[in-house]
Structure 1
Amino acid sequence: MDRGVFVSRAEAESTTLADALERYALEVAPKKKDAYHDTLRCRRLSKRTLARKALAAIRGKDIATFIRERQAEGVGANMIRLDLALLSHLFNTARTAWGMESLTNPVDLVKGQRPKLPGGRDRRLVGDEQARLLAAAHAYGGEIGPLITWAIETAMRRGEIAAMRWEHLDRKARVLLIPETKTGTPRRVPLSTAAMGVLDEFPRRMGHAAHNVDGRVWGMRPDSISQAFERVCKAAGIEGLTFHDLRHEATSRLFEKGLNPMQVAAITGHKTLQMLKRYTHLRAEDLVGMLG
């Protein structure tokens, strides 16, 4: 203590994980891009047995037990990964910003025991699925039909589509600005003729004025888009297709149109070529003509 190297463990020993999660939800989660889901994750984790332990008492073996419990509950690998990412950030924050320098991050000790993520999805529209999908969407009504076309034409993420605003549209240049993205880097998306056609239809759509009160292009929220899409797929008799698969489809079509990886990345917003490869699924049949 005289030399100034003593580090007190008192706070880390008296603060439970539940207490830390509550503080994290109040101070840290609101500053993150996915604040809503991180807050929900904090609440869910605070109800687990692990949350009763003091931060200083949590070891790597406790995290390993937590992983096995989640797997036994049938939770997917990606959900477990997100839980671990939050716990890891919580411990790092407690050590660096909350004055608990004595803490070690137990999540770092179980890297080899984390569940492996499944390979990237390769689901694409096949046969007449697009026509059936759009027909079912038209019968369903509302915005889901135009949303499907928009997603296929732009390769935008569901959240980016839901957050679209008229003020970010440059009709003359046929470009849409996305100021906030998943990667944190704004980007400008070039719009095809079909995409512009979707927007040109808005003045004739019933009820659009009500949706435009706050400046947003679409009236549907992300969760509502997924729910409507699931109902449309069921009505069309299409299985194994998610709304996010339309981003895969759109990205693959950009390559099939002859764009190079850098051009595609500029449109889709992928940070690395590895991630771009994961979301791109080219059909061998479509490549035959390019071989000569």
Structure 2
Amino acid sequence: MSIWTDKQGRRHVGLMVQGRRVHRILPEGATASDAKQLEADLRKQLTRRPGQYSDPLLVEVMPLYMEHAKHSKWTSVAEIAAQRIAPWLEGFRASQVREVAANIIRDMKSAYAPATINRSLATLKKALTLAWELGMTEVNYGAAVKALPPNNKREVFLTPAQVQHLASHCTESVQAAIWIALYTGARRGEILAMQPEDVSKHTLTIHAQNTKTKRSRVIPIVKPLRPWLKYLPLPYKNFEGLKTGFQRGRKAAGMEHVNFHDLRHSAASLLVASGADLYTVAKILGHSNIQTTTRYAHLQVKQQREAMKRAFG
């Protein structure tokens, strides 16, 4: 089947031509005619005469990604990640991508976190994969783009008092995002996707299509969270709006070292401090693997050590 509709109602187009498999997801609201037109365009591109475009310039390849990003849930974020590396692509061809990637990493390391660099490298990798799928290159040069090892050892755990201080310097909508993050452990994207209908009398539902793991989860609503849920949906079209408001607030609060994601870590640390086991923390945060949650195990050990000191001196 080359055209189908998934459970969320989004249309898909999938083709296999000359050993190349191409899969595209159309944006929400796309019609059957849109899908058929995309199928025809893809088939035309896939049957392009071999060798016609053997080694295109990278600046000729990146528009493929920009078109692909239009179908992303967070289009503006994807486009920004791609635009960030544009200066390094000038004059280089697809076959030179290994050198280009090395230059990007070398020059960006001092200014950006590994995760940010990796997001930009991923756009280049995807663009080259798309070029290969469409027959523009004889090999998939995207395979040569390797990500930096992520730095997942960041540990900034805020106390409720510190969160209160930070929130007091933010606008009401940013405050709502901050407290929702602390009282649910939800990621920023999950919070931005929340709607009033996701809130019931006792629980808050985070739907699968809005989660990193593509799994729904239901979170009990604690009393201090309830007042902030009236702000849903938050008035931001994308990550950047909330990011800008949060940055202003943390600067005004003298807490520029704090990232929004630290609120999720803080939620986990407070849960562990309250006596929650790691399995429960994993369920609340939506970790697909308990190994991810073990990063908080040392907090549990600290709590146990203090309990033993109280008991045995």
What TM-score does the superposition give when structure 1 sets the normalisation length? 0.74
Q: Which amino acid aligns with 1:152?
A: L
Alignment match of 2:65 (pick from 8, 24, 36): 24
Matched, 1:193 2:210: no
Q: Quote how far apart the aligned CAs of 1:80 are.
A: 2.1
Matched, 1:102 2:138: yes
In structure 2, distance between residues paired with 1:40 and 1:254: 35
Match of 1:65 in 2: 103
Greater RCO (Cα-Cα under 8 Å, separation 6 or more): 1
Could you list the runs of 5+ residues in structure 2 that have no partner in the other structure?
1-17, 20-48
Q: When the two structures are aligned, how many residues end up with a matched partner?
A: 261
1:33-86 CA distances to partner (integer Å, 9 max, x unpaired)? 4332222333343x335343332x325334323432334x63432222222222
Match of 2:206 in 1: 177
Match of 2:92 in 1: 53
Matched, 1:37 2:82: no
Tell me how large the CA RMSD over aligned residues is: 3.2
Q: Percentage identity across aligned positions?
A: 25
Question: Secondary structure, in 3 states, of the residue corresponding to 1:189?
Answer: strand
1:202-217 alignment, distance < 5 Å: 202=230, 216-217=232-233
In structure 2, distance between residues paired with 1:188 and 1:123: 26
Question: Secondary structure, in 3 states, of the residue corresponding to 2:299?
Answer: coil
Question: Secondary structure, in 3 states, of the residue corresponding to 1:149?
Answer: helix
Query: Conserved in 1, the CA contact under 8 Å of 2:51 and 2:138?
Result: yes
Question: Secondary structure, in 3 states, of the residue corresponding to 2:271?
Answer: helix
Match of 2:184 in 1: 154
Distance 1:259 1:235, change over 3 A: same
Match of 1:117 in 2: 150
Matched, 1:85 2:122: yes
Distance 1:53 1:186, change over 3 A: same
Q: Quote how far apart the aligned CAs of 1:268 are.
A: 1.1
Q: Which amino acid aligns with 2:273?
A: E
Could you list the runs of 5+ residues in structure 1 that have no partner in the other structure?
203-207, 209-215
What TM-score does the superposition give when structure 2 sets the normalisation length? 0.69
Question: Secondary structure, in 3 states, of the residue corresponding to 1:282?
Answer: helix
